[in-house]
A and B are shown apart, each in its own frame.
Chain A
Amino acid sequence: MTYNSIVLVKQVPDTRNVTGDVMSKKGTMNRSALPAIFNPEDMNALEMALQVRERYGGQITVVTMGPLKAVDILRDALYRGVDQVILLSDRKFAGADTQATAYTLKSAIEKIGDLDLIFCGRQAIDGDTAQVGPQIAEKLGLPQITYTESVVSVDGDEIVAKRAFDLGSEVVKCKLPCLLTVTGSANRLRPASAHKRIEYKLSAIPSEYSDLLEKWPEFETEAALDAYLSERDLKITVWTAADLDVDEENLGLSGSPTQVYKVNYVVLESTESKEIPPTDEGIRALVQELVQEYVVG
Chain B
Amino acid sequence: MNNNRNVWIFIEQEEGEIADVGLELLAKGGELAHTLGSQVWALLLGHQVEPLAESVIHHGADRVLVADHPELALYRTLPYSRVIIDQVQAHQPYIFLIGATPVGRDLAPRVASAVQVGLTADCTDMQIGDYLLRKEKREYKDLLYQIRPAFGGNIIATIVNPKTRPQMATVREGVMQSNQPDPERSGEIEVLEPVFESSDFALQVMSREVQEPTVKLKDAPVIVAGGGGVSSNNESRLIEELAHVLGGEVGASRAAVDAGFFSHEHQIGQTGVTVRPRLYIAAGISGAIQHSSGMDQSNKIISINTDPDAPISKIAHYKIIGDLAEVLPLLIRALREKAI
Please list the residues of chain A having a beta carbon within 8 angstroms of any beta carbon in chain B: 13, 15-16, 18, 22-23, 29, 97-99, 102, 125-135, 137-139, 141, 143-147, 160, 165-175, 178, 256-266, 268-280, 282-284, 286-288, 290-291, 293, 295-296
CA distance A283 to B338 in the complex (A): 12
Q: Which residue of B lies closest to A159 (CB)?
A: B203
Q: Name the residue among A133, A141, A178, A258 with the largest chain B CB count within 10 angstroms.
A: A258
Q: A residues within 8 A CB of B326?
A: 278
With a cutoff of 8 Å between Cβ atoms, the chain A residues found around residue B213 in the complex are: 167
- Which of A23, A143, A168, A293 contacts B209 (CB under 8 A)? A168
**A137-B110, A260-B159, A290-B279 known, 10 other contacts, Cβ within 8 Å:** A144-B77, A175-B203, A259-B159, A261-B158, A263-B155, A268-B296, A272-B317, A278-B321, A290-B300, A291-B338
The complex places the Cα of A18 from the Cα of B311 at a distance, in Å, of 13
Given A143-B77, A169-B209, verify A135-B110 contact (CB < 8 Å).
yes
**Cα A165 to Cα B19 with chains together (Å):** 15
Q: Which segment of B35-43, B160-168, B229-237 sits at the interface? A: B160-168
Q: Assuming A99-B113, A99-B119, A290-B279, is B204 touching A172 (CB within 8 A)? A: yes
Chain B residues within 8 Å of A296, by CB: 222, 246, 279, 335
Residues in B whose Cβ lies below 8 Å from that of A174: 202-204
Please, what's the 1-or-0 string for B149-174, where 1 marks a CB less than 8 Å from any CB in chain A? 11111111111111110000000000
Q: How large is the interface on B (under 10, 10 to 19, 20 to 34, 35 or more residues)?
A: 35 or more
**With A265-B154, A280-B330, A284-B334 in contact, is A274–B109 under 8 Å at CB?**
no
Question: What are some 16 contacts across the A-B interface (CB < 8 A)?
Answer: A15-B152, A15-B154, A16-B152, A143-B202, A144-B77, A146-B77, A168-B209, A168-B211, A261-B159, A272-B317, A273-B318, A275-B318, A275-B320, A276-B319, A280-B334, A283-B327
A138→B160 CA distance, assembly (Å): 23
Q: Is B253 an interface residue (CB 8 A)?
A: no
By the criterion CB–CB under 8 Å, are B158 and A262 in contact? yes
Least distance between B256 CB and chain A CB atoms (Å): 15
Q: Which residues of B contact A261 (CB under 8 A)?
A: 131, 145, 158-160
Chain B residues near A266: list those with CB within 8 A: 149, 153-156, 289, 293
Is B11 located at the chain interface by the 8 A CB criterion?
no
Q: Please, what's the 1-or-0 string for B64-84, where 1 marks a CB less than 8 Å from any CB in chain A?
A: 000000000000011001000
Contact check, B206 vs A172: say whether CB atoms are below 8 A apart: yes
Q: What's the least CB distance linking A197 to chain B, in Å?
A: 29
In whole angstroms, what is the CA distance A129 to B288 when docked?
A: 21
A28 to chain B, nearest CB (A): 9
Choose one: B102, B288, B313; the contact of A146 (CB below 8 Å).
B102
Which chain B residues lie closer than 8 Å to A271 at the CB level?
A: 301, 314-317
Point out the residues of chain B lying under 8 angstroms from A170, CB to CB: 205, 207-209
Q: Is the CB of B203 within 8 A of A276?
A: no
Residues B330 and A283 in contact, CB atoms below 8 Å apart: yes
Query: Counting chain B CB atoms within 10 Å of each CB, which of A23, A146, A257, A262 scores highest?
Result: A257
Closest to B311 in A: A268
